[in-house]
Amino acid sequence: MVLTLATAQLISWGALFYSFSLFVVPMEQALGWSRATINGALSVGLLVSGLTALPVGMAIDRGHARLVMTVGSLLGGSVLTIWAFTESVVAFYAIWAVMGVALASTLYEPAFAVLAVRLGRKYRKGITAMTLIGGLASTAFIPLTQLMIELWDWRTALLGLAAFNFLVCAVIHIVVLSGTYGSVEEPAAPAQATATPKLGGGKLLGQLSRQPKFWALLIAFVCYSGYLAAMLFHLVPMMSDRQVPMGVIIGAMSVIGPMQVVGRIVLMSLGPRMSSAVAGRIVFTLMVLAVFVLWALPTTPLVLFGFAILYGSANGVMTIVRATIVPELLTRDAYATVNGAMYMPATLTKAAGPILAALLWEWTGGYDDVLLALIILSAIAAIAFWLAGTPKPETA
């Protein structure tokens, strides 16, 4: 199950998310739209994804994982198909609003929820294995998508990506998620636990909202998402402003993906010896250090590659921390609902981060103040995560 779901994750991330940037220039040339106009649709999709994360999570907790993820893959394929024939900006924005629902229904969060329920206490191992494969999405689909654009054209390439979603992802979700959700590989609950009825997602959220650690984690991931998106979409223009050769920039960026996988492998090798809480404290601190390096030191190739190593490895581990910290620190019940409640505001800051960084760059005339703001943002995230505390020892 883990391998097949991971395959669907690799395709979904590659076809629905990472491929977007490759269509910007061909669409500019073919349709005459501005770069800001085209990228605005991506922001709309991310906003909708954040707004629908909570209802998607609640639907999964009610036993509808198969329906949610299958419909998400079909929606994703349909949006890519319609996109291939789109001539209107309004239509483009409308279909990317629908794509936001597809993103919320198919990417890591719903898949993590499935593994958390079906694998029981082995969920962390399954999630780590899934992200090892899913982390290769950009490595696989960026060159594949570019090849399809060069061999065919950008519209036909979109149809090719749609076929992956229709013929592979949707089929995987129909077949692998068949049966009653939560009944497969679910370990028997201890006798003590049966005496306490589980709360529904809404009531559980109300209970958790009275715990300081819930808000500490929420603040940490909201700040982290804004930092991550701003850095990801501004790294190239930032380094170009500093006169770094494009070959060096691309070389450093190519290190980020493999370092994400390395970070996850290291975490997997440590197994239960390192909790998600401890791993999170380490990687949140590394995130602060990574952006501080860019701000404080001259931008030499060595410094830029050092940043890429820190940023990539920390971000790779962070994906697993974000997926496993809720059951470790808060609750194992209503996993998808609680994660969705945290993912929703984090996605909103993820959508706003690049825009706010661009505005700050315009106001100040350079990236030094942007980096300083990102240092402050990442430091707030790190402090909040540290304040969330450590997990209580589990009892038999």
Determine the pLDDT at residue 183: 36
For the chain, list the domains and their CATH numbers. Answer: 2-176 (1.20.1250.20), 201-387 (1.20.1250.20)
**Does pTM top 0.95 for this prediction?**
no
Nearest-angstrom CA–CA distance, 208 and 68: 25
Q: What angle do CA 391, 394, 396 make, to 5 degrees?
A: 175
Answer whether residue 353 shows pLDDT above 60: yes
* Phi-psi map region of 334: left, alpha, beta (phi>0 left; psi -120 to 50 alpha): left
CB contact set of 277 (below 8 Å; sequence gap of 6+): 325, 328, 329, 388, 389, 390, 391
Average pLDDT value for residue range 176-189: 50
Lowest mean pLDDT among 291-295, 341-345, 357-361, 364-368: 341-345
C-alpha separations of 373 from 156, 231, 267, 321 in Å = 41, 11, 29, 24
Determine the pLDDT at residue 15: 93
pLDDT confidence tier of residue 371, bands split at 50, 70 and 90? very high
pLDDT in tens, 263-317: 888 887 887 778 888 888 999 998 999 899 889 888 888 998 988 888 888 888 8
Average pLDDT value for residue range 72-87: 96
